[in-house]
Amino acid sequence: MEHVIPHAGRATIDDVARSAGVSTATVSRALRNHPNVAENTKRRVLEVVEQLHYVTNSNASRLASGHSHTIGLLSPLLTSWYTSEVVAGVEEVLALARFDLLIGTANPAARERIFCGDARFHQRTDGIVLVDVFCSEEGATKLAELELPVVVLGEQLKSVTSVSVDNVRGARLAACHLMELGHRKLAIVGGHAHLDVAHNVPTERLEGFASALSSASLQLQPQYVEDGDFTIEGGRSAMRRLLALSDPPTAVFLMSDEMAYGAMWALRDEGLQAGHDVSIVGFDDHPVAESVGLTTVRQPVREIGRIGARLMLDALEDGGAVHHHPVELTLVARATTGAPPTN
């Protein structure tokens, strides 16, 4: 069925050119759908390509063209559920466009460097996607000066294309849901996440939560603000501290579902029931949330990654103008929230 392959190893563009009776330039053009190639020629080339199982050597192609056809992605914590999901979304879109994804951990200690372009990505990527690397407008200004397009995920920026949820609104959704159920003693659990620098997410969610209470003439009590470190263990400890208060809250909003699992754990340890004795709201809609009946503020995490990747491809195509893409949040009410206990 198949013709003999001229020599061991992979066929090169020369093999194809020779076998098709054209120049390598023509093969190159035919393969990339260059407009000025006769239909006949193209067909012949494609046949030979098939026959010889020819695959372009991407290293050679990238060296010659100066385009790496690769996007770099940097995040401080690649293994969290949130980041894995975002990466999966980015990968999905990039793969369709036949772009490679090069992933690197963004050492928070070396944040400043990131804004000047990461050395690992030098000459190797056509663009950079930043996930959860809270830049603030200051870092963004530097990023905008990079010779590469940059897309930032998780934060709304002016000088650089970004995609993010409205954290203020998300926290309001949680607070309003709880207040509608009749709660008056509301607590909030956030954290510094994995960064030591100021982090927009906890700040914005705290702000939204407090402002929702204000609108209802309530005030967020300082003892009702806890740090849960964005981990299950942290959420558990935070909940324990809240339960130990002389006047514990009747409802707790945790800024991640994982912290909420920890809070539910703490409740179980005390023989208390979430949604009955204490109401719990998380944030994310993590895959396990539904099965444990967790009420949460859902964010379409994978979609955020997809959108980010598309914006990157757009930027590569037409240099695309800088803009911000907002993503919607929705409250999903489940079993962990209910009316406060009638004491």
Partner DNA sequence: CTGAAAGCGCTTACAG
CB atoms within 10 A of CB 281: 30
- 110 forms part of the interface with its own copies (CB under 8 A): no
* CB of 179 vs its own copies, minimal distance in Å: 27
Asked if 123 interacts with its own copies (CB under 8 A), we say yes
| Cβ-Cβ contacts under 8 Å for 145 (sequence gap 6 or more) | none
Checking DSSP bridges between strand 330-332 and strand 324-327, what pairing results, if any? unpaired
What is the DSSP code string of 96-128? HTT-EEEEEE--GGGHHHHHT--GGGTTT-SEE
Q: Stretches 54-62, 166-174, 276-284, 323-331: which one binds its own copies (CB under 8 A)?
A: 54-62
DSSP string, 72-103: EEEES-TTSHHHHHHHHHHHHHHHHTT-EEEE
Does position 107 interact with its own copies (CB under 8 A)? The reply is no
Picked from its own copies, DNA, none, the partner binding residue 31 (CB below 5 to 8 A depending on kind) is DNA
Give me the least distance between CB of 215 and its own copies, in Å please: 33
> Which range of residues in 54-62, 70-78, 169-177, 332-340 is near DNA by CB under 7 A?
54-62
State in angstroms the smallest separation of the CB of 291 from its own copies.
4
- CA distances for 302 relative to 85, 94, 145, 231, 298, angstroms: 5, 13, 28, 20, 12
| Site for its own copies, residues 219 to 258, rule: CB under 8 A | 232, 236, 258
Query: Residue 119 interacts with its own copies (CB under 8 A)?
Result: yes
Residues 322-341 that bind its own copies (CB under 8 A): none
Nearest-approach distance from CB 25 to its own copies, in angstroms: 19
157 near its own copies, rule: CB under 8 A: no
Q: Are 38 and 30 in contact (CB under 8 A)?
A: no
Q: Minimum distance between the CB of residue 129 and DNA, rounded to whole angstroms?
A: 23
Q: Are 148 and 186 in contact (CB under 8 A)?
A: no
343 vs 341: CA distance, rounded Å: 6
205 binds, among DNA, its own copies, none (CB under 5 to 8 A by kind): none
Please give the residue ranges that form the binding site for DNA (CB under 7 A). Answer: 9-10, 12-14, 21-26, 28-29, 31-32, 35-38, 40-42, 54, 56-57, 60-61, 63-67
